Amino acid sequence: MALINKERIEKLKSKANDLLNRSLDQHITLAVTGLSRSGKTAFITSLVNQLVNEGNGSQLTFFTPVHQEQFIAAKRISQKNNHIARFDYDNSMAAFVNQPPSWPKPTHGVSELRLAIRYKPKDSLLRYATDMATLTVDITDYPGEWLLDLPMLNQTFEEWSQQTVGLLLKSPRLGLSQSFLNKVKEIDPFDDANEGLITQLSQEYTQLLHTFRNDLGLSVIQPGRFILPGELVGAPILEFIPFPNFANIDANDYQNASDKSFIGMLRVRYVEYKERVVRQFYQQHFINFDRQIVLADCLTPLNKGAESFADLKQAITMILESYHYGRSSLFSRLFYPKIDKLLFAATKADHITQDQHSNLESLLNELIHRSKHELNYDAIKMKTLAIASVRATIAGKSLHQGQQVPVLQGRRSSDDKTITVFPGSVPKKLPNKGYWQESHFNFIAFEPLQSVSVHESLPHIRMDHVLEFLLGDKMK
Amino acid sequence: MALINKERIEKLKSKANDLLNRSLDQHITLAVTGLSRSGKTAFITSLVNQLVNEGNGSQLTFFTPVHQEQFIAAKRISQKNNHIARFDYDNSMAAFVNQPPSWPKPTHGVSELRLAIRYKPKDSLLRYATDMATLTVDITDYPGEWLLDLPMLNQTFEEWSQQTVGLLLKSPRLGLSQSFLNKVKEIDPFDDANEGLITQLSQEYTQLLHTFRNDLGLSVIQPGRFILPGELVGAPILEFIPFPNFANIDANDYQNASDKSFIGMLRVRYVEYKERVVRQFYQQHFINFDRQIVLADCLTPLNKGAESFADLKQAITMILESYHYGRSSLFSRLFYPKIDKLLFAATKADHITQDQHSNLESLLNELIHRSKHELNYDAIKMKTLAIASVRATIAGKSLHQGQQVPVLQGRRSSDDKTITVFPGSVPKKLPNKGYWQESHFNFIAFEPLQSVSVHESLPHIRMDHVLEFLLGDKMK
């Protein structure tokens, strides 16, 4: 008995603890996506930064594990899937460390990062079993366009064409797409397909998608892989277009059309796209997600006008459709996704004054309001937040016509000048015609204001609320 | 009976013929690859060009179906796999059509093109059954590096490391790789892996591979996906290195090393690379190939010197290993590949004078000689040819010291000047020390000489021999 000394007992105790820990350890997969240019890379970088630098000036008051001093430390560890690109945290942080700081480069495709968070369990059963527990967090970053493609799984080529052409025939797309549509309408859909012509038309359609996104600031871009082809660049599967003339062709003729006909070739490729691109994303990634963050920049559409804003609304509706499982659902034929929490975050809250934040949140709430009602509340918890992943402005007051008004100071992206402005008020509700006619809002893009060191926490707005919603319940 | 008129009988006859054709139609998959910068894109473009433009000035005397007037016509049709990039024949041809013409841009990754060749059967049973048959030819283009990776399937991480480090420790690689190897040797392989360090070292190793290929003109570049990452860019699976210190570590320690140790992490990633990259290429593509064309530029290594030439020899040996199936084979554990013909073509034969062609062919024969003996002759027919996919020079004679000597005229790539030269003699056998000391050969790169129209045949050397070997027996 004398042989079992204190050191050995400690060792055994620690080993037992280790074993227990391992079985009690929790694991969660956070999926992060964003609608065009919502600041996905900055968001993930800040989220990781807040956790790994906790204590070094971090402001995470609303994150219960920090508030209640349960949080011990977080570190990056080897990611889950070696064949998936690594989310390049170091390079993204470097952008904020540089003098002067800048926004990190956007990512393309899917990337991963894994965090191990050590904490002291408090309220749960774990408390009595162990001193320390680990929550493993897999963050998966993927383009919002891939999420917007999911509803295609439930649509035939005819249905998808009608929906897509419906969009093309409305302002603001119509002006740009008219000549494309006219060209397609001239083709006899039952003629033998001219593959070169299909290539040409799909290139023209892809170019339209780029213009919709970059110049018009639109969110509904389908098929998403057309503008982010990755390894499929040059493959025929990315060469099809919506067919605008279903009203004028016979349904039987369409059903019987050979795969070698113009319409038949489009249909074949649409189906292959669904199977090889959309369903593959669904099965390899989507069904493994535990929680989803959707970032949306509501301010740019607000600035661009009614049509851009309506497009954002439609994009959000399409996204909610993907989560609307149950009786009449898209996913009845597929495995159920296991997502239990869905966070919509309106980013760039630092680009408006503090007094407008609650309006931004209400506005986002209104955007998802209708669809939210159709969601199965028991299955998915939803939340909306107005956030700034990395705060780029300083809030202040200025005297305007004898009154103290809130203003922002920041480094304007367009000319790198430090300016002080009041960007305007954000409507609390979905804006009506009157709002657009008066054009209240003046969105100005800012660069990050001050460099930080690699080990410092990035300034932010409500990233602690984000963490609380996404991770808080798993660290009790 | 009167109802069955002539037209109807003809229609029935034609329909019966169609049905018969369909069942008698033949199909073949040609895989085309090349060792660094051997002119793969020019080769495929010319091969397609010769067939689709047959009759428009094509010189295909040695291609029996043309010689015996069985060849009817060839055309491009929709490719087999819609999710694979299309081989961009039109853009490649455009390079030859432009004024002045240039070489087409190289392809990256895998691409496909399908041809339908119509011909009159002559010697076979088909002759009595039908007037016309169709041979469908699927051409698959893929990087030579992928072929060079195949032997990894049969190697453990230890074996691969030893082979690869063996190369790194010899001239011409040693001078460049010494500092990299020293850095790796300083690491304790059983320490916990520092993932950032592994990323950094693998980037350094990848940079070495680029230098070996581009500056030293070497052929053995492994792992091949490191320099052509495609969709795997940034993925940890492309971050490992050969370990140079196996001689000094204990075999048991190595076997028991945790996956989280430095050596363990390298091993895990090597194994994942084999499974996810090499085996995937093997199973999705390689086992479907009927015939393989390997293009090699023997002239540049001849110019660069003994070491570059020895490297070409090793690359060819490694490639032949992949086909050396049978008792002791790499493929005993895998499905058998069904390749029945293997063509090694020494490209750029137009860059030497006509009298040297037979030497070039002998030299290539010597390069594959040893390995050839080990091949199962019954299973795979092999052939070597000296070819020019697209002839870029004009042959002539010039008076030199009172004698008529053969010369070439061409547009030199480096300065776009038209020059007349005698590039030197190609050795008939593997060159010995004496040859390298005297440095006989002076390779000059030429641009294509004259534009052609899209519907014209490209000038070539022995593409008809290529077609005869690859397709002749299928069109009897």
A236, B268: Cβ pair inside 8 Å? no
Closest alpha carbon within chain A to B269: A82
Nearest-Cα distance to chain A for B1, in Å, is: 32
Suggest the residue from B231, B273, B285 to mutate for an interface test with chain A (most A CBs closer than 10 A): B231
Kindly report whether the peptide bond that precedes residue A143 is cis, defined as omega within 30 degrees of 0. Answer: no
The percentage of residues in chain A with a pLDDT greater than 70, rounded to a whole number, is 87
Suggest the residue from A75, A76, A78, A82 to mutate for an interface test with chain B (most B CBs closer than 10 A): A82
> Which residues are within 8 A (CB) of A4 and not within 5 positions of it... i.e. 6 or more apart?
none
Q: What is the pLDDT of residues A349-379, one digit of tens each?
A: 999 999 999 999 999 988 887 555 555 555 6
Contact A471, A117 (CB under 8 A): yes
Asked whether the predicted pLDDT for residue A442 surpasses 50, the reply is yes
Q: Which long-range contacts (CB under 8 A, 24 or more apart) does A332-335 make?
A: A334/A153, A334/A282, A334/A287, A335/A283, A335/A287
* DSSP letter (8 states) at residue A216: S
Determine whether A303 is exposed, middle or buried from the number of CB atoms within 10 Å of its CB (0-12, 13-18, 19+): buried
Model pLDDT, residue A332: 46
Nearest-Cα distance to chain A for B26, in Å, is: 20
Q: Does B402 touch chain A (CB under 8 A)?
A: no
B236: its two tokens: 């940890």
Q: What is the pLDDT of residues A30-39, one digit of tens each?
A: 999 998 689 9
Nearest to A237 among B82, B88, B232 (CB): B82
Q: What is the 3-state secondary structure (H, E, C) of B15-66?
A: HHHHHHHHHHCEEEEEEEEECCCCCHHHHHHHHHHHHHCCCCCCCCCCCHHH
Closest alpha carbon within chain A to B273: A83
B156: its two tokens: 């453990």
Asked whether the predicted pLDDT for residue A159 surpasses 70, the reply is yes
Give CA–CA dist A450/A31, Å, rounded: 29
Give CA–CA dist A417/B463, Å, rounded: 64
Contact B263, B257 (CB under 8 A): yes
Nearest to B235 among A83, A234, A236 (CB): A83
Chain A positions touching B89 (Cβ under 8 A) are: none
* pTM of the entire predicted model: 0.85
Residue B468 φ then ψ, to 5°: -60, -45
Give CA–CA dist A447/A350, Å, rounded: 11
> Which residues are within 8 A (CB) of B261 and not within 5 positions of it... i.e. 6 or more apart?
B189, B190, B191, B192, B193
**Beta-strand pair A71-77/B133-141:** unpaired
Type of residue at A245: N
Model pLDDT, residue A318: 87
B83, A276: Cβ pair inside 8 Å? yes
Chain A positions touching B194 (Cβ under 8 A) are: none
Nearest to A86 among B82, B234, B276 (CB): B234
Contact B108, B41 (CB under 8 A): no
Q: Does A231 touch chain B (CB under 8 A)?
A: yes
CA-based R_g, chain A, Å: 25
DSSP states of A64-85 as a string?
HHHHTT-EEEEEEE--S-TTSE
From the CB of residue B220, how many other CB atoms can be counted at a distance below 10 Å? 25
Confidence of residue A436 (pLDDT cuts 50, 70, 90): confident
Nearest to A236 among B82, B230, B236 (CB): B82
The percentage of residues in chain B with a pLDDT greater than 90, rounded to a whole number, is 66
Give CA–CA dist A304/A37, Å, rounded: 14
- Among the listed residues B282, B294, B274, the one whose alpha carbon sits nearest the alpha carbon of residue B338: B282
Q: Does A80 touch chain B (CB under 8 A)?
A: no
Model pLDDT, residue B333: 43
Location of structure tokens 């859909």: A189
Model pLDDT, residue A170: 93
Q: Does A265 touch chain B (CB under 8 A)?
A: yes
Q: Does B202 touch chain A (CB under 8 A)?
A: no
Q: What is the pLDDT of residues A245-274, one digit of tens each?
A: 999 999 999 999 999 999 999 999 999 999
B16: its two tokens: 């019966």
- Going along B50-200, which residue ranges are E strands? 71-77, 85-86, 111-119, 133-141
Give CA–CA dist B39/B390, Å, rounded: 10
A236, B269: Cβ pair inside 8 Å? no
Confidence of residue A1 (pLDDT cuts 50, 70, 90): very low
Alpha-carbon distance values, B28 to A410, B48, B89, B114 (Å): 65, 15, 19, 10
Nearest to A236 among B79, B109, B269 (CB): B79
Alpha-carbon distance values, B35 to B46, B87, B216, B319, B440 (Å): 18, 18, 14, 10, 23
Q: What is the pLDDT of residues B211-232, one digit of tens each?
A: 999 888 899 999 999 999 988 9
Type of residue at A310: A
Give CA–CA dist A101/A93, Å, rounded: 10
Suggest the residue from A83, A84, A89 to mutate for an interface test with chain B (most B CBs closer than 10 A): A83
Residue-by-residue pLDDT tens, chain B, 476 positions: 444 566 666 666 666 655 555 456 689 999 999 986 899 999 999 999 999 999 887 899 999 999 999 999 999 999 999 999 999 999 999 999 999 999 999 988 899 999 999 998 876 555 555 678 899 999 999 999 999 999 999 899 999 999 999 999 999 999 999 999 999 999 999 999 999 999 999 999 999 999 999 888 899 999 999 999 988 999 999 999 999 999 999 999 999 999 999 999 999 999 999 999 999 998 899 988 999 999 999 998 888 888 888 999 999 988 887 776 443 455 544 445 678 899 999 999 999 999 999 999 999 988 887 555 555 555 678 899 999 999 999 999 888 888 888 999 999 999 999 999 988 889 988 888 888 887 677 889 999 999 999 999 999 999 999 999 999 999 98
Nearest to A236 among B86, B235, B269 (CB): B86
Model pLDDT, residue B190: 97
Q: What is the pLDDT of residues A397-420, one digit of tens each?
A: 888 888 888 999 999 999 999 999
Q: Does A234 touch chain B (CB under 8 A)?
A: yes
Asked whether the predicted pLDDT for residue A20 surpasses 60, the reply is no
Model pLDDT, residue B327: 37
**Beta-strand pair A85-86/A403-412:** unpaired
Contact A279, A337 (CB under 8 A): no
Across chain A, mean pLDDT equals 88
> Which residues are within 8 A (CB) of A185 and not within 5 positions of it... i.e. 6 or more apart?
A244, A245
Model pLDDT, residue B127: 53
Location of structure tokens 């870029």: B392
B237, A276: Cβ pair inside 8 Å? no
B233: its two tokens: 């860019």
Model pLDDT, residue A328: 43
